[in-house]
Amino acid sequence: LYSPLSNTAAGTTTIPRLAWSKQRTYWASWADYQNRQLSIDYRMSNTGTGIAIAVTVQASLCSPGSVTVSTSLPLTVGDLDPGISRTVTLKYFVPASVGSFTTTTYATCSDDAGRTYWFPGPMP
């Protein structure tokens, strides 16, 4: 004996997506310049459809390797609703002999179901 379905469950998956862009690069003070502590302001944005919970900057890997992030990591940014951005400042030790460098910064967040996401992808 079978009965017809009485209720149908429906839902949509909402997924956070973090975007990271550089805003400005500067020496925050004369002391920072003397100590080779360069500040970079980044914009962390949630361009996804779901809330990004516990956004955390995990690492910032630099090339050349003589440039290192001075800011204590991991750094908690907090929760970001879809469409919301926040400024995150990281400081880097840049030896006087280095004229330019690149960084790849890795961040994580969770969705409302507890799944973890890495951006731009898993750390090497």
Bridge partners of residue 90, in order along the sequence: 40
Rounded Cα distance between 7 and 4, Å, is 9
Model confidence pTM above 0.85: yes
Q: Give 97-118 pLDDT, tens digit per residue.
A: 999 999 999 999 999 999 999 9
Rounded Cα distance between 75 and 113, Å, is 22
Q: Which of 43, 21, 20, 16 is nearest to 117 (CA)?
A: 16
Q: How are strands ordered across the β-sheet holding 85-93?
A: 18-27, 37-46, 85-93, 68-69
Q: Give 42-96 pLDDT, tens digit per residue.
A: 999 999 999 999 999 999 999 999 999 999 999 999 999 999 999 999 999 999 9
Question: Which helix (H) or strand (E) is 32 found in, with range?
Answer: helix 30-34
